[in-house]
Amino acid sequence: MAINDEVLRMPREQLEELQLERLKKTVVDCYENIPFYKDLFDEAGFNPYDVKTLDDIQKAPFTTKQDLRDNYPFGLFATPLSEVKEIHMSSGTMGVATVGGYTQRDLETWGECFARGIKFANGTPEDICHICYGYGLFTGGLGAHYGSIAAGCMTLPMSAGNTKRQINVMRTMGSTILCCTPSYAMHLADTAIEMGIDPAEEFSLRAGIHGAEPFSDNFRAELEKKLNYRVLDIYGLTETMGPGVAIECWEQDGLHLAEDFFLAEIIDPETGKVLPDGEWGELVLTTLCREASPVVRYRTRDITCIKTGECKCGRTHKRIARLHGRTDDMLIIRGVNVFPSQIENVMETFPEVASWYQIELDTIGSLDTVTLKLEVNPDFTFDEISAIERLQKKISTRLQEALQVGIKVQLVEPKSIPRSEGKAKRVIDLRTYKNMS
Ligand code: DLL
């Protein structure tokens, strides 16, 4: 299948006409086919037949993750189950999982969205696309797979894990595009180095399409250096499709939204008010072509902004800024709001420490405590107690200055923080475990 780059260069007026036509159909389809939406719209006094402009979406009520959970498993499907060809699910570690259904056309749309990322990486049928996002109910593996097939690449459906085999295949087959989480890409690079392989020299990678979790600019720079390729950030979520809702082009200056398939708004998470382009807030998405599991004004909880100005690549689809956190990521430490990305920003100013960290939340008596476990770089002499203590103190002071909250820093040896094959687990909340037991 040819990748439709023309639609990405459509004049805005024409694109917005296309969006409006699709939006009208989506809200009516939801109203007519999903009892949940009929009740929701009626209660909010929103008439789906009255949508005349794109801004009219602002009259519609929001949908939340809880609504999806309450309707588990198939309550929000708009088509008969016989038309649903595939199911994916969010991991559900924080509660009941949410379910997405795909018709044959939904799968094709998904493939096209991910294939755009391959196109952004200048991918062609000459490329070998190495996929180590997990296959299964998680959307990463199969989303990348459909994208690679749609882009006409040779596809290596490796799935996650078995890192040494991944490295051997990558080296011997000459994989050129790597699709996995950024933390797993780093783990692959580090493991190769440990095996005596220089990935920058011995791999043939040109591009990495990495997402599913936040990663900083420094982390990206380190990956690009170790693997000698270019990293493009890809965003998506199970509730609206999976990977491919927004992807960075070669310019690495924000992620182009697939605006022909999704209508995006940024809202103030407190008031629900829509914010203008350029202002940071919560991303809200409405699917425009989803047949089986459409969503209207879904609150993603992801924090970003719509970038102003045009992208150098000339594509007209709007871009969102790289995501560094979610509204529900926010830690409240003794009354102070802290995002893990703020801790990361401080950490990155210390060359002695690596990118691997974990934030451990606990309580002693009634007091919340936070310990930041940080790996030192392999060239840091870990056995010199006084040097360790000095550095711990220095980082802790810098965190106190930046965040106005006391965080205990515990330096740990290289490789001691568990590596994940999928999304890295950065926050360990021992308070939850205590409450559960
Ligand atoms: O993580 C879909 C995906 C797979 C995206 C592979 C990219 C690549 P979920 O498991 O439902 O779906 O998790 C969705 O992950 O709401 C964000 O909070 C986070 N997330 C996804 N992509 C990014 C990214 C997949 N590029 C949730 N940067 C979303 C930061 C991301 N966070």
pLDDT digits (tens, 9 = 90+) for 48-83: 999 999 999 999 999 999 999 999 999 999 999 999
Ligand 1 pocket test: which of 116, 118, 237 has the largest number of ligand atoms within 8 Å of its C-beta?
237
Question: Which of 328, 359, 391 corresponds to the end of one domain?
Answer: 328
Query: Ligand 1 mean position to 181 CA, how many Å?
Result: 9
Instruction: Locate 261 and state its tokens.
Output: 């398939």
- Distance, in Å, from the CA atom of 113 to the CA atom of 235, rounded to the nearest integer, reads 11
Would you state the pLDDT for residue 92? 63
Q: For residues 224 and 370, state if they share a domain.
A: no
Protein residue with least CA distance to atom 13, ligand 1? 237
Question: Looking at the domain assignment, is residue 21 inside a domain?
Answer: no
Q: 245 C-alpha vs ligand 1 centroid, how far in Å? A: 10
Q: Report the separation in Å between the CA atom of 84 and the middle of ligand 1, taken as the mean of its atom positions.
A: 23
In a domain, 25, yes or no: no
Q: Is residue 128 part of a domain?
A: yes
Alpha carbons 420 and 178: distance in angstroms, whole number:
17
215 and 311 housed in the same domain = yes
Decide if pLDDT at 45 tops 50: yes
The ligand 1 atom at the shortest distance from the C-alpha of residue 322 is 28
Domain boundary among 305, 328, 351: 328
Q: Same structural domain for residues 241 and 361?
A: no
Same domain, yes or no: 158 and 282: yes
Q: What are the structure tokens assigned to 178, written together?
A: 């790597």
Ligand 1 atom nearest the C-alpha of 133 is 6
Q: How many domains does the chain have?
A: 2
Contacts 24+ apart (CB under 8 A), 422-426: 422/133, 422/134, 422/138, 422/140, 422/160, 422/181, 422/184, 422/212, 423/181, 423/183, 423/212, 423/213, 424/181, 424/183, 424/213, 425/358, 426/340, 426/357, 426/358, 426/359
d(CA 174, CA 164): 15
Centre of ligand 1 from the C-alpha of residue 200, in Å: 27
> Is 291 in contact with 103 (CB distance < 8 Å)?
yes
290 shares its domain with 340: no
Average pLDDT, the chain: 94
**53 is a domain residue:** no
Is residue 286 within 8 Å of 23, Cβ to Cβ?
A: yes
User: How far apart are the CA of 197 and the centre of ligand 1, in A?
Assistant: 30
Which residues neighbour 276 within 8 Å (Cβ) at sequence distance 6 or greater?
none
Please tell me whether residues 304 and 346 are part of one structural domain. Answer: no
Q: Is it true that the peptide bond before 73 is cis, omega within 30 degrees of 0?
A: yes
Residue with tokens 């994940």: 420
Of 271-275, 365-369, 376-380, the one with minimum mean pLDDT is: 365-369
Q: Domain holding 400: CATH number?
A: 3.30.300.30
Asked whether residue 260 is domain-assigned, the answer is yes
In a domain, 417, yes or no: yes
Whether residue 435 is predicted with pLDDT greater than 60 in this model: the reply is no
Instruction: Choose one of 110, 145, 232, 302 to mutate for the ligand 1 pocket test, by most ligand atoms within 8 angstroms of C-beta.
Output: 302
Any domain includes 183: yes
Using the mean position of ligand 1's atoms as its centre, give its distance from the Cα of residue 423 in Å: 9
Same domain, 100 and 173: yes
Q: Tell me the pLDDT tens digit for each residue of 75-113.
A: 999 999 999 999 999 876 556 789 999 999 999 999 999
Same domain, 351 and 315: no
- The rounded distance, in Å, linking the Cα atoms of 405 and 297 is 35
How far apart are the CA of 232 and the centre of ligand 1, in A?
14
Average pLDDT of the segment spanning 166-174: 98
Identify the residues whose C-beta falls under 6 Å from ligand 1.
Answer: 90, 133, 139-140, 211-214, 233-238, 242-243, 300, 302, 323, 326
**Tell me, what CATH number does 293's domain have?**
3.40.50.12780
225 and 373 part of one domain: no
Do 216 and 104 lie in one domain? The reply is: yes
CA torsion sign, 376 to 381 to 386 to 387? negative
Q: Which domain covers residue 393, as residue numbers?
A: 336-429
CB 240 within 8 A of CB 284: no
Domain boundary pick from 310, 328, 346:
328
Average pLDDT over residues 144-152: 98
Question: Are 381 and 313 contained in the same domain?
Answer: no
pLDDT at 437: 44
pLDDT at 17 (0 to 100) = 98
Task: Tell whether 241 and 345 lie within a shared domain.
Answer: no
**Residue in 213, 215, 284 to alter for ligand 1 test, most ligand atoms within 8 A of Cβ:** 213
pLDDT surpasses 70 at 22: yes
Domain membership of residue 48 (yes or no) is: no
- The CA distance from 344 to 348, in Å, is 6
